[in-house]
Structure 1
């Protein structure tokens, strides 16, 4: 055991000493590897961030996997499929009861609506949504200021609303901390309080708002002309068995309401609406670019390593003459490349991290979307260092074979 440990440690020390002796050659040969690994780390890092940004966008609009939209329709009433108000309320009530029965933690109303809102410059029809507190978590909604809805907000006499920046600008640039209010015309009309502002895209230039469902104050406000009686309910449930559970919730509500109401469940998130992996094409492209960069770096190192071994034939022949075994020579030459590329990989990863860690670069990739995680993806660092070691082993294999074949007589010729 001691002999094995001594051999391993001795080989590592010997390889490191060779790197120090030939540091000029090593630096020149590893410049290409460093650039290749840095490029690889940046490519993988960009790809990882792009995947997370795409997933975040998908979840903002379609919900997290697996989010199902459940809607009740009727063959009677106004001929549009919208149920009568009393029936719509019954469907909503039964859907909530079914979600609670099956221990669904994230369930919310998700009904698009419109309200005539009194701004300082006049009354305007503003689009919005009627939701429950879980909506923010289900759709990755981020707050810019103030707070999101809480269950206690249902009992407010002045309804709480959450708006975008365009809405605040329409109020004259009001600040949420001052608790600005807006008049909601209706029968009777009420005054709503802005409790929070959510993060919105730069192109989101029209005022929008969220209001809390089943709240005392909002239930007394007359709906806008575009509301109808179509109400939508959403649930976020585990992907395993999601379809069966969503259908069970819908069928329970349909059976409880009875009559001519049909309740259907359809999946909303991108993972359910796209066949296969929705990000699969992006992953293949990133993998292809990464492999190309890796191959180019490896070929450059292999070429330099072969030339280097040919220039060291005298040195290697002398070492064979004083008793170094073929295996010792093979491992030493191989480890020289591996240790060198390991250092180059670490430097390359640091360069890649510096690029992706830059706030401006990261902002261009994420478009301001909060994706969470470390500034530099861990997988990019692991791929960068791992690929450097792998390239070093491959690029060192042929030179090591060449070094083993060196004979003592070759040392005399050189």
Structure 2
């Protein structure tokens, strides 16, 4: 009986090809919109996660809270975070929970090599910077612990800075002037691009912090301190330890008066993921309106279909067809239309998301979730909007149906 119902449904579609196509088109557009928008949402989410991963794994960052400190350092607000804080954290934090602790300070200065010059960001840090950031050296090496302790005037160039100053020449071993001070180039980093969307690593120069503070910055203040945790499980504990150590050092009893803040990478990433998930669902909800319109179109066409086939229904009932078989037939036709539209819509959505990705540069990731969701919803649309016309057909009086013109 089921096969017979399928055959009759397909025969009905073949006699009304254009109507069937237009009915299916509403579902195709709705499903394609859901798949495309959710794919773009997932792609954007993946891009953000990748950018934050490029900042370093399991990272905690200590920032000064400007406005609470006193005085100036060469015209700039004095940072509440200093070398002494870095040393205290290095000694007091549990070494079993920490991969590396890295001081960091920066300033934009003029850099020269012969007749070439550029204004770029110079970073003072320690050799452990490579442990907390996803940074690799392409040529030469990063400065060593010995060079750091001895305050050597050595520099590691970002890729674009090296190209600007040296072109196709090899920078290793050459001398450059940073803020008027001569430095020897010991390494060039691999091209990195945007660092989490906030800074360009290729447009930076790295030197030992000890040299940076003596020759460029003056004083012992830091922009921030990076702490790389051994695993995500210990990050909250480490954050609490860091806050306790710094409050004790800065003689702060009320957390509301902290002159520093600790940024937890996992917390930020979790908040961003929740925001992106909400945005993705919002976009999918807007796209789902197309599915609602498509479902209404199915109901409309099925009601027309019932009206056109009243006499056929009367004949079938007159020869013994039960009401439930009439119900099954029209409901099957509705479900076939919506499921076929769902399948084609999924394919169109996947192709469309890739086309948008290639043309606009946006990231698109097609996951199983929107595919299964769209297919399920399209089938439910067929059942929901097809049931009333099918029920109406099944309740027709055979005598009145046979007399219908």
Shorter-chain TM-score range: 0.7 to 0.9
Q: Secondary structure at the match of 1:191?
A: strand
Whether 1:404 aligns to 2:394 is: yes
2:95 to 85, 95, 101: 101
Q: Report the CA distance shift for 1:210/1:123 in structure 2 as closer, same or farther (over 3 A).
A: closer
Q: Report the CA distance shift for 1:161/1:322 in structure 2 as closer, same or farther (over 3 A).
A: farther
> Partner of 1:265 in structure 2?
261
Are the aligned partners of 2:174 and 2:185 in contact in 1 as well (CA < 8 Å)?
yes
Q: Report the CA distance shift for 1:265/1:28 in structure 2 as closer, same or farther (over 3 A).
A: closer
> Partner of 2:255 in structure 1?
none
CA RMSD of aligned residues (A): 4.6
Written as runs of structure 1 = structure 2, the 5 A alignment for 1:384-399 is: 384-399=374-389
> Partner of 2:370 in structure 1?
380
2:206 to 169, 188, 211: 211
Written as runs of structure 1 = structure 2, the 5 A alignment for 1:12-411 is: 13-24=3-14, 25=16, 26-53=20-47, 59=52, 67-71=60-64, 81-82=78-79, 88-101=82-95, 103-105=97-99, 108-114=102-108, 117-130=111-124, 132-137=129-134, 146=138, 161=156, 163-165=158-160, 167-174=161-168, 183-185=175-177, 189-200=183-194, 208-209=203-204, 211=206, 219-220=210-211, 223=214, 225-226=216-217, 228-231=219-222, 232-235=224-227, 245-252=238-245, 255=248, 258=249, 264-267=260-263, 272=268, 277-279=274-276, 282-283=279-280, 285-358=282-355, 361-362=357-358, 364=360, 366=362, 375-411=365-401
Q: Distance in 2 between matches of 1:260 and 1:252?
A: 10
Q: Deviations over 1:236-273 (max 9, x none)?
A: 66888855641312323665xx5879874333659559
How much has 1:90 moved relative to structure 2? Answer: 3.6
How much has 1:50 moved relative to structure 2? Answer: 3.8
How much has 1:194 moved relative to structure 2? Answer: 0.6
How much has 1:121 moved relative to structure 2? Answer: 2.5
How does the TM-score come out when normalised to structure 2? Answer: 0.72
Are the aligned partners of 2:5 and 2:329 in contact in 1 as well (CA < 8 Å)?
yes
Q: Distance in 1 between matches of 2:58 and 2:383?
A: 41
Q: Deviations over 1:354-392 (max 9, x none)?
A: 11112x6446252xxxx6xx7434333233322211221
Are the aligned partners of 2:192 and 2:200 in contact in 1 as well (CA < 8 Å)?
no
Q: Distance in 2 between matches of 1:184 and 1:322?
A: 99
Q: Distance in 2 between matches of 1:46 and 1:75?
A: 44
Q: Which residues of structure 2 form unaligned runs of 5+?
A: 253-257
How many residues align? The count is 378
